[in-house]
């Protein structure tokens, strides 16, 4: 009797071990890169938080930080076990509206790199945030094509739209504050380009 319990325990242990081992070699490197990327974004957000002046940007950073922290935790869970995490991925909902300000405004001074930390401004912080969100989104997109573990692959694929939403939220904040200006073509050129394709009939 004791022997049969022991064998059953071994079978359960082997099953759990097999579940945790259902990752391909290439995917191990991708998953490590993505999890390390999440850590990099979170670490940088912690650093930025102490320098932000605008409360709207601070609240955006904290919302995104909370979302990415939760995603990181369940990704670690799925990666280490090979099974579904304790809860599914969530949807990130931005707080900005979709209004884009077009056109170029005269800037007070040309941009240049900082020479000391006291020069850091919200314009720069929001740009750093956008760059990091773009970077991790690219990693998630590329890895989702090749990950063999179905749970981890689905989590990566499902997270791409959320990071796009975060990046778009940052862009809209920057645009509203004239940190990210959007020039347009002359009306004649725009019309010509808009009418340069036709549908198949």
pLDDT of the chain, 201 residues: tens digit per residue: 555 444 554 444 444 445 556 666 767 888 899 999 999 999 999 999 999 999 999 999 999 999 999 999 999 999 888 889 999 999 999 988 899 999 998 877 888 899 999 999 999 999 999 999 999 999 999 999 988 888 999 999 999 999 999 999 999 999 999 999 999 999 999 999 999 999 998
Residue among 148, 162, 192, 9 nearest 71 (CA): 162
The structure tokens listed for 21 are 């081992």
Q: Cβ(41)–Cβ(162) under 8 Å?
A: no
CA gap 50, 58 in Å, rounded: 9
Farthest-apart Cα atoms in the chain, separation: 86
Residue among 139, 167, 133 nearest 31 (CA): 139
Q: What is the pLDDT of residue 28?
A: 80
Q: What is the pLDDT of residue 2?
A: 52
CA gap 130, 150 in Å, rounded: 29
Record: fold of 26-94+120-194? Ferritin (1.20.1260)
- Exposure string for 95-125, b = 16+ CB within 10 A, e = fewer: ebeeeeeeeeeeeeeeeeeeeeeeebebebb
């Amino acid at each position: 009797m004791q022997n049969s319990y022991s064998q059953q325990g071994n079978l359960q242990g082997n099953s759990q071990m097999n579940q945790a081992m259902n990752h391909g070699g290439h995917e191990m490197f991708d998953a490590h890169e993505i999890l390390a990327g999440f850590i990099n974004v979170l670490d940088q957000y912690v650093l930025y938080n102490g320098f932000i002046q605008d409360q709207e940007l601070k609240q955006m950073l904290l919302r995104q930080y909370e979302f990415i922290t939760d995603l990181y935790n369940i990704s670690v869970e799925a990666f280490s076990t090979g099974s579904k995490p304790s809860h599914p991925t969530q949807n990130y909902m931005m707080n900005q509206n979709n209004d884009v300000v077009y056109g170029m405004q005269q800037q007070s001074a040309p941009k240049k790199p900082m020479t000391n930390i006291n020069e850091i401004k919200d314009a720069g912080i929001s740009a750093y945030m956008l760059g990091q969100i773009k970077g991790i989104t690219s990693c998630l997109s590329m890895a989702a094509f090749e990950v063999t573990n179905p749970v981890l692959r689905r989590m990566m694929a499902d997270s791409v739209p959320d990071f796009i939403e975060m990046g778009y939220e940052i862009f809209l904040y920057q645009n509203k504050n004239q940190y990210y200006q959007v020039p347009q073509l002359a009306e004649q050129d725009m019309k010509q380009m808009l009418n340069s394709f036709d549908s198949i009939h």
